[in-house]
Amino acid sequence: MKKVSRELPKMEAGIAKPEMTVGLDLGDRYSHYCFLDSDGEVVEEGRVQSTEAALRRHFEGEGCLRVALECGTHSPWVSRLLNALGHQVIVANARKIPTITGSESKNDRNDAEKLARFAAFDPKLLSPLEHRSEERQVDLNLIHARSTLVRARTMIVNALRGLVKSAGGRLPACSTESLPARALAAIPPALSAVATPLLEQIGLLNAQVDGMDKQIEKLSAKYPEIVLLRTAPGVGPIVAAAYVLTLGEPDAASNRSAGAFLGLRPAQSQSGAADPQRRISKAGDSFLRSLLVQSAQYVLGRFGPDSELRRWGLKLAATGGKRGKKRAIIAVARKLAVVLHALWRSGQRFQPFPQQTAVAA
pLDDT at residue 1 greater than cutoff 60:
no
Whether 207 and 261 map to the same domain: the answer is no
Phi, psi of 202 (to 5 degrees): -60, -45
- Asked, for residue 6, whether it belongs to a domain, the answer is no
User: What domain range includes position 34?
Assistant: 21-126
**Stretch (H or E) spanning 125:** none
- Which of 126, 155, 176 finishes a domain? 126
- Mean residue pLDDT across the chain: 88
Strand locations in the chain (E) = 21-25, 30-36, 42-49, 66-70, 88-92
Whether 89 and 185 map to the same domain: the answer is no
Query: Are 216 and 291 in contact, with CB atoms under 8 Å apart?
Result: no
Whether 237 and 316 map to the same domain: the answer is yes
Whether 86 and 158 map to the same domain: the answer is no
**Number of domains comprising the chain:** 3
Q: Please state whether beta strands 21-25 and 66-70 pair in parallel, antiparallel, or not at all (unpaired).
A: parallel
Query: Are 80 and 27 in contact, with CB atoms under 8 Å apart?
Result: no
| 162/155 Cα distance (integer angstroms) | 11
* Proportion of the chain in helix, strand, coil states, percent, rounded to 5: 55, 10, 35
- Asked, for residue 13, whether it belongs to a domain, the answer is no
Q: Which residues contact 44 (CB under 8 A, 6 or more apart)?
A: 1, 3, 4, 33, 34, 35
Query: Are 19 and 40 in contact, with CB atoms under 8 Å apart?
Result: no
Whether 120 and 156 map to the same domain: the answer is no
% of the chain with per-residue pLDDT over 70: 91
Whether 140 and 78 map to the same domain: the answer is no
Whether 249 and 163 map to the same domain: the answer is no
| 279/268 Cα distance (integer angstroms) | 9
pTM of the predicted protein model: 0.83
Tell which residue, 170, 33, 172, has the closest CA to residue 113: 33
- pLDDT tens figures, 106-124: 899 999 999 999 999 999 9
Amino acid at 324: G
Whether 142 and 197 map to the same domain: the answer is yes
Most confident of 95-104, 218-227, 254-263, 282-291: 218-227
- pLDDT tens figures, 177-217: 999 999 988 898 889 899 999 999 999 999 999 999 999 99
CATH number of the domain residue 39 falls in:
3.30.420.40
Whether 152 and 185 map to the same domain: the answer is yes
- Which of 85, 110, 126 finishes a domain? 126
Whether 325 and 343 map to the same domain: the answer is yes
pLDDT at residue 221 greater than cutoff 70:
yes
- What are 31's strand-pairing partners? 48
- pLDDT tens figures, 37-91: 999 999 999 999 999 999 999 999 888 999 999 999 999 999 999 999 999 999 9
